[in-house]
Structure 1
Amino acid sequence: MPEVKVRKTLVQVETIFHEGGPAPEAPQKRAAAIAVIENPYAGAYVEDILPFMKDLEPLGAEMAKMCIDALGGDASVVEGYGKGAIVGVNGEIEHGALWHVPGGYAMRDAIAESMAIVPSTKKVGAAGTRLDVPVTHTNASYVRTHYDAVEVGVPDAPRPNEIALVLVMTTAGRIHARIGGLTKDQVKGEDGLR
């Protein structure tokens, strides 16, 4: 199995105090951890890429911790999450799909209440490509206040033979959310949806 070769990591933190209306009791914080890795399958079609998913598990756990640390070190404050990948142009979209399991389960394992599926997006792009990573509530996908996205990117990545892997965590729903629907205090936590 190929070894995971990390060229660089990046952590970004955004703190939102208001969106033009009254300030909430606590600002929303959104953290993203990005790891730029060598794509072992770039440049050729390889039928069996599945083993690399297992190799990515330790990196997923490390990146989940990076997000939690960026939000203050307390996993209990995490209310939203998402994941994504940008594959360099010598790779294929399926190489980014390898991140689904190791990235998603790393966050779910790091957060107590996390029954909801982790939303995801991926694309193939050149260095500097930006990605809007979708976010939903960690324990109930139908909580509308937490439907969000965090834009990420690295100026010099991914290079053609790289993949930029992304995890995102948030501490709250959108500031000034007011479109109705299920709220976080109504979550039953039984099925990952409601």
Structure 2
Amino acid sequence: MSITVRKIVRHREETLRENGQDVPTTHVVAWVAAVIDNPYPEGYVADLVTIADEIGQEIGALLGPACVELLGEPVEAFGKAALVGLGGELEQGSALIHNLRFGNEFRNAAGGTELLPAAEKVGITGGPIDVPLKHKLDSKTRSHHQTITIVVPDAPRPREILVACVAANAGRPLARLATFGAEVAK
């Protein structure tokens, strides 16, 4: 089985100022999304894993390295998402992105070791999905906990799934929270 891609969307943004302050290092976020035909038949399917295993690596290889390349800088934080169009099921998007064949492609391209934080939901065409990011080597690094909103105005259509990889070159602009656990340390 192979995926059918309707479109690939690439987005890169640079934040130079935040809350009236210059950002010491330009904060760069990139995401690459593929809008694919939903590979699952309509209606309830008991075995979602077989199809996810068959196409997970293909989707990961399509998106993960492209996201890292678009970022154009070393990745420090990353995340992933699946937005399932109407007529599909939440579990179908989950099966695709919570598959190591998919995740390892992105993790390896980014030089990460942590699990990729994820968001998945069923949504209407043009609906947003908020994607959590965490540090690629230590998910407890608070400065790198951030959320990026992805919107593709004409996707996903019914019976499509939007799958995305997101990367950032740093933690939040002007991050200044204490390290994890500092509030309860003696």
Task: Provide TM-score, normalisation by structure 1.
Answer: 0.86
Looking at structure 1, the residues matched to 85 and 62 of structure 2 have their Cα atoms a distance apart, in angstroms, of 22
User: Secondary structure of the residue that 1:23 maps to in structure 2?
Assistant: strand
Answer whether contact 1:21 1:176 (CA < 8 A) is retained. no
Distance 1:87 1:122, change over 3 A: same
What is aligned with 1:175? Answer: 173
What is aligned with 2:30? Answer: 31
> Equivalent pairs: percent with the same residue?
36
User: Secondary structure of the residue that 2:12 maps to in structure 1?
Assistant: strand
User: Secondary structure of the residue that 2:46 maps to in structure 1?
Assistant: coil
User: Secondary structure of the residue that 2:105 maps to in structure 1?
Assistant: helix
User: Secondary structure of the residue that 2:165 maps to in structure 1?
Assistant: strand
Looking at structure 2, the residues matched to 3 and 117 of structure 1 have their Cα atoms a distance apart, in angstroms, of 25
- By how many angstroms is 1:103 displaced? 3.6
What is aligned with 2:184? Answer: none
Unaligned stretches of 5+ in structure 2? 181-186
- By how many angstroms is 1:143 displaced? 0.3
User: Secondary structure of the residue that 1:11 maps to in structure 2?
Assistant: strand
- By how many angstroms is 1:100 displaced? 1.6
Counterpart amino acid of 1:154?
Answer: V
Looking at structure 2, the residues matched to 26 and 177 of structure 1 have their Cα atoms a distance apart, in angstroms, of 12
User: Secondary structure of the residue that 1:94 maps to in structure 2?
Assistant: helix
What is aligned with 1:145? Answer: 143
- By how many angstroms is 1:169 displaced? 0.4
Looking at structure 1, the residues matched to 41 and 6 of structure 2 have their Cα atoms a distance apart, in angstroms, of 15
Looking at structure 1, the residues matched to 128 and 21 of structure 2 have their Cα atoms a distance apart, in angstroms, of 30
Counterpart amino acid of 2:62?
Answer: E
RMSD (CA atoms): 1.4
- By how many angstroms is 1:104 displaced? 2.2
Answer whether contact 1:83 1:103 (CA < 8 A) is retained. no
User: Secondary structure of the residue that 1:132 maps to in structure 2?
Assistant: strand
Task: Provide TM-score, normalisation by structure 2.
Answer: 0.90
User: Secondary structure of the residue that 1:126 maps to in structure 2?
Assistant: coil
Deviant stretches of 4+, over 3 Å: none
